[in-house]
Structure 1
Amino acid sequence: MFLRQRQGKSRWRIEMLARGESMGRVVVVLAMLAMLTAATCPAAEAKVFRQYDHRLQFEVPDEWLCTSQSPHQFLAIFTAPEMRYEINTLTLVHQILPATHTLTDYVVSTVASQEKMLWQYRLLDKQLLDNAYAPYYRLAFTWRLSWEQQYFVLQMIICRYPDVYVLTGTCPASLREVYEPLFQRVFDSFAFVG
């Protein structure tokens, strides 16, 4: 589409001149592709987060801000810019596995406690997967903070006995298709170092 201005008796008029139907279709298709790419493929740049006290690391999207770090239970909290006033996008928590528990026992008790504590908690999937450093459980679930606010949560629970690390990604349920692949990339990059 091109614009041409002509001066009338008392005001400017704008006339739109179409340069062929095919040019308009190309512009529309390119605009749709750009919108879909922006919505489904966030920036590929990543930065490495290292927790030196616990000798672990993982990659997070470059624009996510680390809002809190500690060598204790809550090791790190990250927020995506578009959710900075809503929820923590990614949290890393450290706990000690009781001597009588296996990782599976820990996961079973975690699910049971979340079912009791979180209003409208619904487990979608639980899988034992392989990581280069140790097997881990991947939990996917939804929960409601209120009638209007429903969230999708993806958790990685990995153990380096007696330490258990829970990496939790949270996003509005409506954005699951955008954030689930991002959370999985973070999980795939998780590594124990040293």
Structure 2
Amino acid sequence: MDIAENAALVVVDVQQGFEELEFWGARNNPGADDNIAALLDAWQSTGRPVVFVRHDSVNPRSPLRAGYEGNDFKEYVAQRRGKGAGAELLITKTVNSAFLGTPSLDAWLKAEGITQLVVAGIQTNMCVETTARMGGNLGYEVVVAYDATYTFDLEGPFGWRREAEELAQAAAVSLHGGGFARVVTTEEIVGSVE
């Protein structure tokens, strides 16, 4: 796998509010945070650019709402901000895609000459998937670190309910099989970077 010297790591919504499982329900992939940390360390130690994305929910009940402690990045992410030798960007958003946040991710990537993105974070089938899809649609080469993401059980129409692992796998199949992104493991990515 080829990871460009200026590939941007896009860390999506790794916020404390996602620890409030009474709000979100059961989750998958308990090792995701360790993998996100490993990606951050690999990017920062090699001087590659990192984009930190924060969801500022407009739902007054959401653990991710602005002004609430759950809106803050998880401690291991907060500790790594500003520590890398490469460029760094903070994006805030109120919708699923990091491309619809502030400032403009697309404009920043173009200004930096970046054409490849590695996406990790929370939730696999929500903000990670939407960001990856839009990135692919905009012409970026998108790589998703599958095991550096997680999600939660979810109920949909007709009483259908799917477990977190099913949803994560479905997102991975749609992204990879649909040509939006290449879905790989953290180990594959880190091995290509270091």
State TM-score, norm by structure 2.
0.27
- Higher Rg: 1
The structure with more helix, counted as a fraction of residues: 2
Higher relative contact order (CA 8 A, sep 6+): 2
State TM-score, norm by structure 1.
0.27
The structure with more strand, counted as a fraction of residues: 1
